[in-house]
């Protein structure tokens, strides 16, 4: 395998990611140099607009399998899969696992809910089994963009790691760095990390990556959009040369192309469900509303029976809508980067159990949150980028379930929304609605709220911990301050028996 040195420079500039602080008219909810390796491939296939051409694999890949039993998995993993009721892999798993188990580099594209976590996780754990990590020197690394996705990946893989007696550590911002350093000192074969916090621990000499043989980039496009590219490349340059690299993402844009060219060698390429909009069980609705009626329309949708995630642009807008919904009798809770880690953890838990029926969120919830039987996502503020739209919508219609994505669009937003839908290759159903309309009820289940104010109480345990922990956090700095954007922590659920990212 040829190795080359490169002077590629990576910019922190966002390429198409939506800005959480961009003004939006018509809404009452808010205002606005290091060593690398060359892949060595030449030809490329054609690519959809906005995405790069996938590399052509030089070495023929191994054929896909139809059952987990056909794979060279460790017996402990097969037993755990059987315990989970899993025998048939998702397409991306069946296609990539034979090759990743053989040590090949992999480039996989699949929408959220397509089974990417087990696609890389089973191979990573099998190939790490039987080895023991030295203190501070993990053997396998999974890089993810957000804390909620890190926790989801950890929870999804923990039963399988336990079956192989492998130790896992989660390294993310917004939580005790001392505790995470202690887990690394005790020894962990597999580390799931966000780039910023891992970089902090390396600088503290609490972690070294020179023994890492297997590296996974999960949701690489979001890491690029969030400005993590310099940190990601710095970390990749520290792992053991010649090790296995796997890159999985829901979308592949030009920034990801740089990672593929620099760090993947003759990768096996598999693309399935290139966009969330291709999901046949997902309906897309664009609801044209008047600016003056948007507040009332949103409130009636929130008062529906069943859970719903509502996305807005800014933290202030999220807090404002949440307060209004609670006053109107809707059990709502806010999720954004300004909330503390205990608040985010509690909010997600209450949403999953049904104690909270409406999760009002910024894009922090667009990836890494899995909730069973979530059949509606509402873009109160339309996203500015089609990738954000696809990932917001990816919270519903997961693993074969049905769901709807509804976007409220005021007159001055119609042209921009039409362009976004073209970029996402989606043809939505467009309807003019207003509060109280039968069509609004038919599409979303909207109804008049009770008007009786409600309060979502914090658990007694959490209230007892306030004060000292808050002051100590203030002395250490804001949660996630050095680790990129803060993100909520979530608990992984299973969907159709398969843990997915």
Question: pLDDT tens, 58-77?
Answer: 899 999 999 999 998 988 89
Do the domain assignments include residue 22? no
pLDDT tier at 281 (50, 70, 90 boundaries)? low
Check whether residue 305 and residue 391 sit in a common domain: yes
Do the domain assignments include residue 301? yes
Check whether residue 291 and residue 340 sit in a common domain: yes
Average pLDDT over residues 4-18: 34
Least confident of 46-55, 239-248, 335-344, 407-416: 46-55
Angle at 482 between CA 211 and CA 394, to 5 degrees: 85
Do the domain assignments include residue 452? no
Q: What is the DSSP letter of 137?
A: B
Check whether residue 221 and residue 309 sit in a common domain: no
Name the E strands within 362-457.
376-379, 403-409, 429-432
Query: Which of 166, 156, 155, 151 has the alpha carbon at shortest distance from 116?
Result: 156
The confidence score (pLDDT) of residue 333 equals 94
Check whether residue 403 and residue 262 sit in a common domain: no
The confidence score (pLDDT) of residue 28 equals 41
CATH at 191: 3.40.50.300
pLDDT tier at 254 (50, 70, 90 boundaries)? low
The confidence score (pLDDT) of residue 368 equals 59
The confidence score (pLDDT) of residue 345 equals 77
- Determine the Cα–Cα distance for residues 275 and 110; give it in Å rounded to an integer: 7
Check whether residue 300 and residue 405 sit in a common domain: yes
Do the domain assignments include residue 226? yes
399-417 pLDDT tens trace: 556 688 999 999 999 999 9
Check whether residue 62 and residue 119 sit in a common domain: yes
Check whether residue 226 and residue 330 sit in a common domain: no
- Determine the Cα–Cα distance for residues 411 and 117; give it in Å rounded to an integer: 41
The confidence score (pLDDT) of residue 74 equals 86
Question: The domain containing residue 342 runs over which residues?
Answer: 277-444
Check whether residue 152 and residue 169 sit in a common domain: yes
Check whether residue 160 and residue 294 sit in a common domain: no
Domain finish residue from 426, 444, 462: 444
Check whether residue 49 and residue 191 sit in a common domain: yes
Do the domain assignments include residue 484? no
Average pLDDT over residues 388-404: 70
Higher-scoring residue by pLDDT: 407, 48: 407
Check whether residue 170 and residue 48 sit in a common domain: yes
Query: Which of 200, 192, 189 has the alpha carbon at shortest distance from 142?
Result: 192
- The tally of domains found in the chain comes to 2
Asked if 456 and 353 count as a contact pair (C-beta separation under 8 A), the reply is: no
The confidence score (pLDDT) of residue 258 equals 83
Do the domain assignments include residue 475? no
Domain finish residue from 392, 420, 444: 444
Do the domain assignments include residue 140? yes
The confidence score (pLDDT) of residue 336 equals 86
pLDDT tier at 270 (50, 70, 90 boundaries)? confident
Check whether residue 75 and residue 108 sit in a common domain: yes
Percentage of the chain exceeding pLDDT 90:
50
């Amino acid at each position: 395998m040829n190795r080359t040195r490169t002077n590629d420079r990576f910019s922190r500039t966002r390429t198409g990611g939506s800005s959480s602080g961009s003004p939006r008219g018509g809404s009452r909810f808010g205002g606005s140099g290091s060593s690398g390796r060359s892949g060595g491939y030449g030809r490329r296939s054609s690519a959809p607009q906005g995405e790069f051409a996938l590399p052509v694999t030089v070495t023929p890949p191994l054929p896909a399998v139809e059952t987990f039993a056909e794979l060279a998995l460790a017996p402990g993993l097969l037993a755990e899969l059987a315990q989970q009721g899993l025998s048939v892999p998702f397409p991306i798993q069946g296609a990539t696992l034979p090759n990743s188990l053989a040590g090949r580099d992999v480039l996989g594209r699949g929408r959220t809910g397509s089974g990417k976590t087990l696609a890389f996780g089973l191979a990573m754990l099998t190939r790490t089994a039987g080895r023991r990590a030295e203190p501070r020197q993990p053997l396998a690394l999974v890089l993810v963009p957000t804390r909620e996705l890190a926790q989801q990946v950890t929870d999804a893989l923990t039963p399988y790691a336990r079956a192989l007696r492998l130790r896992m550590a989660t390294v993310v911002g917004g939580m005790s760095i001392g505790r995470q350093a202690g887990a690394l000192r005790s020894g962990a074969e597999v580390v799931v990390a966000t780039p910023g916090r891992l970089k902090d621990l390396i600088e503290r000499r609490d972690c070294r990556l020179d023994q890492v043989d297997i590296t996974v980039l999960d949701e690489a496009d979001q890491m690029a959009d969030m400005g993590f590219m310099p940190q990601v490349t710095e970390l990749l340059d520290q792992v053991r040369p010649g090790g296995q690299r796997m890159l999985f993402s829901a979308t592949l844009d030009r920034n990801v192309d740089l990672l593929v060219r620099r760090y993947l060698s003759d990768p096996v390429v598999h693309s399935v469900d290139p966009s969330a909009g291709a999901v046949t069980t997902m309906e897309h609705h664009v609801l044209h509303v008047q600016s003056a009626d948007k507040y009332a329309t949103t409130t009636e949708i929130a008062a529906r029976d069943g859970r719903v995630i509502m996305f807005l642009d800014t933290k202030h807008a999220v807090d404002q809508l949440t307060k209004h919904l609670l006053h109107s009798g809707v059990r709502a809770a806010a999720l954004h980067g300004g909330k503390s880690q205990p608040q985010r953890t509690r909010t997600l838990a209450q949403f999953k159990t049904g104690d909270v029926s409406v999760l009002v969120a910024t894009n922090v919830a667009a990836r890494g949150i899995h909730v069973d039987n979530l059949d509606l996502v509402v873009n109160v503020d339309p996203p500015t980028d089609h990738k954000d739209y696809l990932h917001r919508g990816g919270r519903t219609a997961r693993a074969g379930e049905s769901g709807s994505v509804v976007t409220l669009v005021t007159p001055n937003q119609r042209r921009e929304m039409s362009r976004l839908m073209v970029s996402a290759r989606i043809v939505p159903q467009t309807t003019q609605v207003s509060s109280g309309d039968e069509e609004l009820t038919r599409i979303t289940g909207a109804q008049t709220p009770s008007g009786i104010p409600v309060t979502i109480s914090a658990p007694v345990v959490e209230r007892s911990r306030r004060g000292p922990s808050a002051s100590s956090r203030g002395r250490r700095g804001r949660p996630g301050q050095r680790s990129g954007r803060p993100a909520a922590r979530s608990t992984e659920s299973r969907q159709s028996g398969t843990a997915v990212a």
